[in-house]
Chains A and B, each alone.
Chain A
Amino acid sequence: MDEMKETYIQEANELLENLESSLLSLEDNPNDKSNIEQVFRVMHTLKGNSSMFGLVKIAEFVHDLETIYDKIRQGEMQLSREILNTTLASFDHLNKIIIDSELEEQDNKDNHYNLIAEIHKFIGKGGDLNLSTEVNNIVEEVVEETIDGPKTYYIYFEPNESIFLDGSNPLFLIAELAAFGKNIVVPHFKSVGSIENFVPTNCFTYWDIYLESSVSKSDILDVFVFVEGSSTIEITEIPFTELIANASFNEVVTSSIFKDLKTDVTSILLLAETIGKKVEAKAVEVEKSSEVHEAKPTETVKTKSESKEKVVSSIRVASDKLDELMNLVSELVTTQASLTLYNEKNETPELEIISENIEKLSRRLRDIAFGMTLVPINNMFSRFQRLVRDVSMALGKEVQFVTEGGETELDKSIIETLTDPLMHIIRNSLDHGLEQPDIREEQNKDRKGTVKLKAFYSGISVYIQIIDDGKGIDAEIIRKKAISKGFLREDEVLTDKEIFDFIFYPGFSTAEVITDISGRGVGMDVVKRNITDLKGVVSVESKVGVGTTLTIKLPLSLSIIDGLLVEIQKVNYIIPLSVVNKCYEVENSEMVDNFNKLLILDEKQVPFINIRNEFGYKKLKASDKSQIIVVSDGDKEVGISVDYIVGEYQAVVKPIGKYYKNQDFISGATILGDGSIALVMDTHKIVDLYTEHVKLEAK
């Protein structure tokens, strides 16, 4: 049962996520029919799931909520801001009660009944006639659904004259109805009129159908689903049974057969009263449960057709299974490396073919396995829609939230860890970045501020940017603040970029007014720490009056990479192939420590780093040769010197453990075919190491 409940919660969470994004897009386009449909459908599925698991309180709650959207869908109600607010509040509430389904927490309980009252206000609201009949209908429907035994229905079915042209056959529909239970079908013929006006392809028949069955009214309506719009269908419930088998009843209703004579419903009811057996409503408790069960069959029918496409396109897999798959793929890649090595030593042509095939296969397997653990960042983006909406409302700011690159894929666990930091950054942008609408207008800016969330790939990294067009950050203010807090000496000269980095210092907040939303000075340092934990880098760019851009750079899921295997001081290193641009051979005498430390390669000046220097190894003889690997570092190119280039290598990157956390220019290690270890180099960090080194020397 626990496992089932888990499944329920998992699915409910997904549905709610879905619901939220639909609701928010509904807010932007309140008249979008497809969105309303979507909201309704999701609620409907949630209701079905909840009742299937016996979570009556949730099911009832969603049912009420769903009723509002059903009405909007039918055009009987207009979507209003109040409705949306209540729905979003209900959404929050649902998020809580899917775990606390019995409303054991007092807060949830209070909230639950308050919201139900609010929802009922909407359902019962609006004095127009149309609406009140609808309410009656609903009441009727509910009553109907509570009765479990067989009932008698009188169905009047008059198809549109051109029904045959649509390819429908009314007799099939009647046969379908007849399958529900005992019945009497009484056909009536309309007058065909004069012979000149007679259209032979038209339908001139209408029917009275008396049906005794335990199906619900909506089941009967479902039969007519394709002709509903064009035909006249009236279904009346006769609260008596044992009519069909009754001879006198039979006689009366069939008396009008083939005649163009409409049956009077009230007379039928009167007749039924005299001969039929009254259907008794069952005890209240049973009613409730039957209502809940009632929702199930229709539910499954509806979702089946809907989820069919989804079933084909995706299945649910436990993430630990994926992890295991990844581990196996990693081991396969390692084993394959030993095979390749063995083959190099004992050159057997047959083995070489096999080994190459296995290499190809494992590479493809690797790519597929990796693709599975990645999820589009869009899932996270949609969560922020809500945040932006709520926060901007609370602040009285007008905000347009734009997302870009939602299809960018990231490791699922990374996305989860990123959510909180991003939320904080966006909150900051809304609170401190964007100005109030009036102020914006004064500055000739659009009243509506824009916050843009953008994701894209570059090299081995994924970039996520939060861009606002607000007032920007004044570097001078940050600088003064940093000095007053003692982070900076007054005579120190820093670039704007370095100054903006102070934002991430613990206990640094420039907000003059501390608000509910942000500005307590905790936060940005936590943001930075979270991102650093993911091996990411965060930086800020800003222009006063123009806006602020915050960039997060994250490594792609790096557990298996294509790399260049090189040797330095008899230790093997892997340089990710994705950053390698070109390799050159130079004489060590060329790598002199001149002022700029530049090498001329292909008539281009390239700064270089003598890695033996950085690692503290002895210099090589000037007459020997070194290999220069030109790697890209952001938009720059840097040459890195190594002793030898061994070759290309597919590396399974493993962590080297916390002991080496200060050696972050080594991002991991990999095991080579012969069992020895190669260290995976992070060239970006090597450049950092070098710049730090140079700075130290300058001091």
Chain B
Amino acid sequence: MKTEATNEKLTGETKSFLSFRLAEEHFTIPVMKIMEILEVPKITKVPQAPNFLVGVINLRGAVLPVIDTRIKFGMSAIEYTINTCILVLNIEVNDEELVVGALVDSVSEVFELHDSQIKPSPTIASRYRADYISGMIQENDQFMMVLNIDKVFSSNDLESISDSKEITLKED
């Protein structure tokens, strides 16, 4: 494979990626999918919704649903800090464009990656559903997962996660 790397460089593409952190883990997604990054505004909670759906916000006159990415990934609910922010993502589900906000602990950096640098993800020993991960990259001895956000945030998955739907009495 390594000998062909130069060849692939000629044929592949270089894309920009943004990395972010959820708890102690780092993930990355193509910048193309991100419309903007917001500070966390007032979130209006929708009653009876699954707990990863934290509510809706006003994005310049439009109503944007916001997802707690940590809960979606099976971690504990997000703790709001000064670094917490919302990635406004433009995802595609069944040929339909959907805009959704994703709460993350912090964003790290934007960097360029060539297609050849993205390695297939290991199919075993993964904590996450295989179709959520489109590849792995290695940077300074640290592995980062490249997310397939169209899959991660597709609303179709709601049914499969509906077991997490419980009446939240924790407020007040």
Q: Which residue numbers of A lie inside 8 Å of B, CB to CB?
A: 331, 334, 569, 571-572, 614-618, 654-663, 665-666, 668-669, 671, 675-679, 689
Contact = CB atoms under 8 A, between A and B. Distances in A.
Pick the 9 closest A-B CB pairs, nearest first. Answer: A616-B167, A615-B47, A677-B44, A658-B155, A669-B63, A659-B65, A657-B65, A654-B63, A659-B155
Interface in B96-144: 98, 100
Given A658-B98, A671-B61, 6 more contacts: A569-B171, A569-B172, A571-B47, A659-B53, A669-B63, A676-B44
Given A657-B63, A661-B155, A677 B57 contact: yes
Given A571-B45, A662-B158, A677 B63 contact: yes
16 contacts: A571-B45, A571-B47, A617-B47, A618-B169, A618-B171, A657-B56, A657-B98, A660-B46, A660-B56, A661-B155, A662-B162, A671-B58, A675-B58, A676-B58, A677-B58, A679-B56
Given A571-B45, A663-B48, A663-B49, A655 B172 contact: no
B65 A654 contact: no
A655 B46 CA distance: 13
B168 interface: yes
A456 B65 CA distance: 35
B63 A659 contact: no
Nearest to B99: A657
Nearest to A676: B42
A499 B17 CA distance: 56
A149 B67 CA distance: 79
A666 B48 CA distance: 10
Contacts of B67: 659
B152 to A, nearest CB: 13
A617 B172 contact: yes
B44 A669 contact: yes
A662 B156 CA distance: 12
Contacts of A656: 46, 56, 63, 65
Contact of B61 (A334, A569, A679): A334
A663 B46 contact: yes
B62 interface: yes
A241 to B, nearest CB: 68
Contacts of B47: 571, 614-617, 663, 666
Contacts of B46: 656, 660, 663, 666, 679
B56 to A, nearest CB: 6
A654 B60 CA distance: 12
A661 B57 CA distance: 17
A668 B62 CA distance: 11
A660 B65 contact: yes
Contacts of A659: 49, 53, 65, 67, 100, 155, 158
Nearest to A617: B171
Given A616-B167, A618-B171, A331 B61 contact: yes
A677 B56 contact: yes
A675 B64 CA distance: 13
Contacts of B167: 616
Interface of B: 42, 44-50, 53, 56-58, 61-65, 67, 98, 100, 155, 158, 162, 165, 167-169, 171-172
A660 B171 contact: no
Nearest to A569: B171
A360 to B, nearest CB: 23
Contact of B48 (A334, A615, A669): A615
A588 B151 CA distance: 46
A669 B45 contact: no
Nearest to B165: A662
A669 B56 contact: yes
B52 to A, nearest CB: 9
Nearest to A670: B63
Given A661-B155, A662-B158, A616 B48 contact: yes
A18 B44 CA distance: 50
Contacts of A689: 48
Nearest to B153: A659
Contact of A679 (B44, B100, B158): B44
A569 B45 CA distance: 10
Contacts of A666: 46-47
Contacts of B100: 657, 659
Chain A CB within 10 Å, residue with most, of B48, B49, B100: B48
A660 B52 CA distance: 11
Nearest to B64: A657
Given A659-B155, A677-B44, A618 B63 contact: no
Chain A CB within 10 Å, residue with most, of B46, B98, B167, B171: B46
Contacts of A663: 46-49
A47 to B, nearest CB: 42
A689 B42 CA distance: 27
A225 B50 CA distance: 77
A662 B98 CA distance: 17
B159 to A, nearest CB: 9
A669 B42 CA distance: 14
Given A677-B44, A679-B44, A618 B172 contact: yes
Contact of A616 (B53, B63, B168): B168
Chain A CB within 10 Å, residue with most, of B56, B57, B155: B56
B67 to A, nearest CB: 7
Contacts of B53: 659-660
A361 to B, nearest CB: 20
Contacts of B98: 657-658
A660 B165 CA distance: 12
Nearest to B47: A615
A689 B46 CA distance: 15
Contacts of B172: 569, 617-618
Contacts of A671: 58, 61, 63
Contacts of A657: 56, 63-65, 98, 100, 155
A609 B47 CA distance: 15
Contacts of A678: 44
Contacts of A571: 44-45, 47
A679 B43 CA distance: 12
A658 B58 CA distance: 16
A665 B57 CA distance: 18
A649 to B, nearest CB: 15
Chain B CB within 10 Å, residue with most, of A657, A666, A679: A657
Nearest to B159: A662
A657 B97 CA distance: 11
Contacts of A331: 61
Chain B CB within 10 Å, residue with most, of A666, A669, A671, A676: A669
A39 to B, nearest CB: 44
A534 to B, nearest CB: 18
Contacts of B62: 654
Nearest to A612: B47
Contacts of B168: 616
Contacts of B42: 676
A657 B98 CA distance: 8
Contacts of A658: 98, 155
Chain A CB within 10 Å, residue with most, of B42, B48, B56, B63: B63
Nearest to B162: A662
Contacts of B45: 571
Nearest to A572: B44
Nearest to B156: A658
Nearest to B49: A663
A367 B49 CA distance: 34
A615 B167 CA distance: 8
B10 to A, nearest CB: 41
B49 to A, nearest CB: 5
B167 to A, nearest CB: 4
A331 B60 CA distance: 11
